Amino acid sequence: MGTVVDSHVHIFPYLGGASGFPSDAEHRQFLQLYMATHGEPVRRLRDHVQVNQRTLHDGRLDSLSSLREVNFRAGRFGRFEWTCDNEDLYLQFFPPSLQSMESPPDFMLQQMARAGVDRAVLQNARLYGRLNDYFAAAVQTYPDRFIGLADVDEVNAYTDAEITGLRRAVREQSLRGLYYANRALIKTGYARGLDDRAFDVFWESVRDLGIPVFWEIVGIPDPNSQADLLREIERLNRWAERWPEIRGVWTHGFAPELLERMPPAVEELLRRDQFMVEILYPIHWGRTHEYPFAELRPALQTLHQHVGGERLVWGSDMPNVERNCTYRQSLEYLRFATEGWLPSVDLDRILGANVMQILSERVQGAKPLESP
Q: Which residues have CB under 8 Å from 344's CB, separation 6+?
A: none
Give the per-residue pLDDT at 372.
61
Q: How far apart are CA 304 and CA 293, in angstroms?
A: 17
Q: Provide the CB-side half-sphere exposure for 130 (13 A, CA).
A: 18
User: Are residues 157 and 29 part of one domain?
Assistant: no
Residue 366 pLDDT > 80, yes or no? no
User: Are residues 213 and 115 part of one domain?
Assistant: yes
Sheet (strand 87-92) strand order: 50-51, 42-44, 87-92, 79-84, 73-74
Give residue 82's domain range.
24-92
The pLDDT tens digits of the residues spanning 291-328 come to: 999 999 999 999 999 999 999 999 999 999 999 999 99
The pLDDT tens digits of the residues spanning 175-213 come to: 999 999 999 999 999 999 999 999 999 999 999 999 999
Total domains in the fold of the chain? 2
| Cβ-contact 178, 214 below 8 angstroms | yes
Q: Provide the CB-side half-sphere exposure for 149 (13 A, CA).
A: 33
Residue 108 pLDDT > 70, yes or no? yes
39 sits in which H/E element: none
User: Are residues 114 and 81 part of one domain?
Assistant: no
User: Are residues 259 and 190 part of one domain?
Assistant: yes
User: Are residues 183 and 34 part of one domain?
Assistant: no
Give the domain CATH number at 348: 3.20.20.140
Kindly state whether residue 369 falls inside one of the protein's structural domains.
no
User: Are residues 114 and 56 part of one domain?
Assistant: no
Kindly state whether residue 18 falls inside one of the protein's structural domains.
no
Q: How far apart are CA 170 and CA 285, in angstroms?
A: 34
